[in-house]
Amino acid sequence: MKLRPEQLAGALAKGLAPVYAVCGDEPLLTDEAAALIRQAARKAGAERQASQVETGFNWAAWAGEFDSLSLFASRSLVELRLASGKPGVEGGKTLEAWCANPPTDTHLLLLLPRADKAMQASKWYGALDKAGTAIHITAPTPEQLPAWIGSRLARHQLKTDSETLAFLASRVEGNLLAAHQEIEKLALLLPPGQFDLETARNAVVDVARYDASDLPEAFLKGDAARYCRIIDGLEAEGETPILALWLLSQELRTLYRLAGGVEAGEPLPALMRENRVWESRQSLIARALKRLDSAQLSTALRTASRVDRASKGLLREDGWQMLKQLGLGLMGKTTLRNEFGYGN
């Protein structure tokens, strides 16, 4: 059975399942889900034993400990962290056997990374899913983050307007742990009720953390403000533009091939398949193609080559600023000049 994180507390109130698989790469949210399960297990009188799967992990010894646990507690919570998400042949068979016949009054909590298609297609994951409850954790998207912050503030009887929520989201984007800490700070500083933007500005520090992989998505969405925030954040952290440029250039090459095919009369869905564009990203790609043609993308790729040379110190120009202007030009926020006119 699969549950959304917000359904977990209600399910636990009805009793403990034999097995829980908490899957996700967002530490704050996965830790919160695991904490709810641990709390329910403690209330049920279960003692906790935690292990981490590493190279050379002894699956046979781990499985053999189940019987001895019953000598010391009427119930047990066996927690296993599998950071790689790959238990191997022996581990997979051990988990399948456990799920086929769970030890009496013993509950398994398996902590896993994000459950991708390969993991969900495995026999051991199928056994876990069938025997108990899988909770798939996903971080809120940038669009969802203001509402997420608002719901967290509501837990402390705090309310604010959409402008303030957007401000708070911009300061902690990409860093949910920092967002949680700022919300807790606001709860300590402010009385229950409504607060305004000025109050938030005075209380919150800028703790946003960005990853270069966020840049292509902001570009494809045409979100110029976020595109610039990501570049400014990466530059402030001392990063070079090389990785961000490479990721953006990959998108530009895909868009160039697609735009050329569409202009030649080929159907876009077929072109998407040929270029291995994931279904989850097809709407973003299609949106970007509505504002770009192959001539613009050809110019952009030549400009990207110049940005690359500047980033490597081969030109006396600012690679980050050039990258910013490149994206803004493609989003229609400024004029995109060709390779030879850039910087003049």
Phi, psi of 158 (to 5 degrees): -110, 140
Q: Which of 108, 82, 86, 105 is nearest to 97 (CA)?
A: 108
Q: Which of 139, 177, 135 is nearest to 23 (CA)?
A: 135
Neighbours of 262 (CB within 10 A): 16
Q: Which residues contact 172 (CB under 8 A, 6 or more apart)?
A: 145, 149, 178, 179, 182, 204, 207, 208
**Taking a C-beta distance cutoff of 8 angstroms, is the pair 83, 57 a contact?**
no
The pLDDT, as a whole number, for residue 211 is 81
Taking the whole predicted model, whether its pTM rises above 0.75 is answered as no
**Would you write out the chain's pLDDT as a tens digit for each of its 344 residues?**
888 888 999 999 999 999 999 999 888 999 999 999 999 999 988 888 888 888 888 998 888 776 555 555 568 899 999 988 889 999 999 999 989 888 878 899 999 999 888 899 999 999 988 888 999 999 898 889 999 999 999 999 999 999 999 989 888 877 888 889 889 888 888 889 999 988 888 877 666 677 888 899 899 999 888 898 889 888 888 888 999 999 999 999 999 999 999 999 999 999 999 998 888 788 889 999 999 999 999 999 999 999 999 988 888 889 999 999 999 999 887 654 443 333 33
Q: Which residues contact 254 (CB under 8 A, 6 or more apart)?
A: 275, 277, 285
Classify residue 234 by its DSSP letter.
H
**Taking a C-beta distance cutoff of 8 angstroms, is the pair 44, 14 a contact?**
no
Q: What Å distances lie between residue 108 and 50, 105, 179, 180, 320, CA to CA?
A: 10, 10, 30, 28, 48
Burial (CB < 10 A; 0-12, 13-18, 19+), residue 160, is buried
The pLDDT, as a whole number, for residue 301 is 94
The pLDDT, as a whole number, for residue 313 is 85
Domains of the chain are 2-136 (3.40.50.300), 145-203 (1.10.8.60), 214-330 (1.20.272.10)
Q: Which two tokens stand for residue 37?
A: 């399960």
The pLDDT, as a whole number, for residue 103 is 81
The pLDDT, as a whole number, for residue 69 is 52
Measured CA to CA, the distance from residue 327 to residue 344 in angstroms comes to 18
The pLDDT, as a whole number, for residue 239 is 87
Measured CA to CA, the distance from residue 83 to residue 296 in angstroms comes to 43
